[in-house]
Structure 1
Amino acid sequence: SVNQKSKNLVAAFKKLGIEEKDIKTTGYNVYPEYDYRETPQKVIGYRISTTYSIKIKDFNKINDTVVIATNTGANIIGNVSFEVNDDTKNKVLTEAREEAVQKAKEKAKSLSSAAGVTLGKIINVTEDSSPIRPYPLAMDKAVGLGAGEINVTPPEITPGETEFTVTVSISWEIR
């Protein structure tokens, strides 16, 4: 049954080390199946689907998670996306800001020297940082269920790199 497959799937994810709080049911749907050959159409059964969102914090478990999901009965897997956690994002943006300000100061000193002026106090500072959005990696194949055991070759899903960009504009008094 769908409920048993769902329980098995969640248990398999937990066994892999994914915490229960990172396994979220995002959809549960029941659709009637019709016999379209008859008029009026006749309901001959129902199709049930359950959709999960799984947060995997260890990138080394991504491919295993897909294999486990497929072997446990999932027949559609998709919408893989990657996000940078808030602590890491804040740390990296802080470092990027500090570096951007340092480079702005060095450039301002060089330009003021070339122009024969002296920098005074800072009168304005603005920042523009690129928004960091998760990017989806669509998997265009649904894996169907057949009879018996399913052997799934682990996919190669890799997170790649995420780039953070911070631009600062600093205005100085000139003497």
Structure 2
Amino acid sequence: MYYPPARNTNNDENRRITVYGNSRLTVKPSIAEVQLGVEVRNNEVNAAQQENSQRIQQVIQSLVRLGIPQDQIQTVDYQIYPQYDYVDGEQQFRGYQVTHMLMVKSENINQVGLLIDTAVQNGANRISSIRFTVKNLDAYYQQALKLALENSVLKAQTLAKVMNVSLDPIPVEILEQTTTPPPIPYQAMAETGLVAGVTTPIEPGQIEVESKLETKFKY
């Protein structure tokens, strides 16, 4: 009776090819997030609060008239704090500052400049950040993930051909090395100057969706 030689499983385990597949998609942003608000100073805290409240309500109403849904306008910061000057080493009270910041989301990317101008014309005097992101980001990431795996297989096949070995095209291990891309920040601004008849130019640029995989194959 014939008995085939025992297979060295340890050697089989060592017969691995490890490659790193990657892909990158360039996507046009579809959502803008603008953080803006009103900052008021007054010697009396109640007066500062009242003026701030009136101006922020005017800003909100103007944005709603522009077509921004009410549920896309959210308070993200509200602060009241005293301000002091130092004269000859002594602290001197000079009033209160009240700041109310809103996060405004818009799916009309071409409207961002007009959104900012409208807010400023209606009382906003703080534009702290603008960020761009994309709707259904996960769908783009899944596409990038597929391309990264295809890239891994192609690399492994190339190496196997050079080594003159037979490659099992089904990976034995796949490790995902990708994190969700952050939104693109636009340069923060403290104040916005307006020119009659001119809309503030805002360029959203492009978002890169990247996928990286560490993939192991047997041969």
| Post-superposition offset of 1:139 | 3.4
Contact residue 62 and residue 157 of structure 1 kept, 8 A? yes
Q: What residue number does 1:51 align with?
A: 101
2:138 partner letter: N
Aligned pairs for 1:1-175 within 5 A: 1-32=51-82, 46-85=96-135, 87=136, 89-120=137-168, 121-143=170-192, 151=196, 153-174=198-219
* Helix, strand or coil at the partner of 2:207: coil
2:201 partner letter: E
TM-score under structure 2 length normalisation: 0.65
1:90–1:35: structure 2 CA closer, same or farther, 3 Å change rule? closer
**When the two structures are aligned, how many residues end up with a matched partner?**
166
Contact residue 82 and residue 93 of structure 2 kept, 8 A? no
Runs of 5+ unmatched residues, structure 1: 145-149
CA distances 1:121-163 after superposition (whole Å, capped 9, x unpaired): 421111211441123323344148xxxxx84732211111111
Contact residue 127 and residue 169 of structure 1 kept, 8 A? yes
Query: Residues of 2 paired with 1:129 and 1:41: CA distance?
Result: 53
| Post-superposition offset of 1:35 | 9.3
1:172–1:21: structure 2 CA closer, same or farther, 3 Å change rule? same
Query: Residues of 2 paired with 1:113 and 1:20: CA distance?
Result: 60
| Post-superposition offset of 1:29 | 3.0
Query: What is the Cα-based RMSD across aligned positions, in Å?
Result: 2.8
Computing the radius of gyration from Cα coordinates, the structure with the larger value is 2
| Post-superposition offset of 1:72 | 0.2
| Post-superposition offset of 1:28 | 2.7
Identity score, percent: 24
Contact residue 127 and residue 192 of structure 2 kept, 8 A? yes
Higher RCO by CA contacts (8 Å cutoff, separation 6 or greater): 2
Runs of 5+ unmatched residues, structure 2: 1-50
Flag the structure with higher strand content: 2
Query: Residues of 2 paired with 1:102 and 1:34: CA distance?
Result: 62
CA distances 1:80-114 after superposition (whole Å, capped 9, x unpaired): 122233x2x11111111111111221222222122
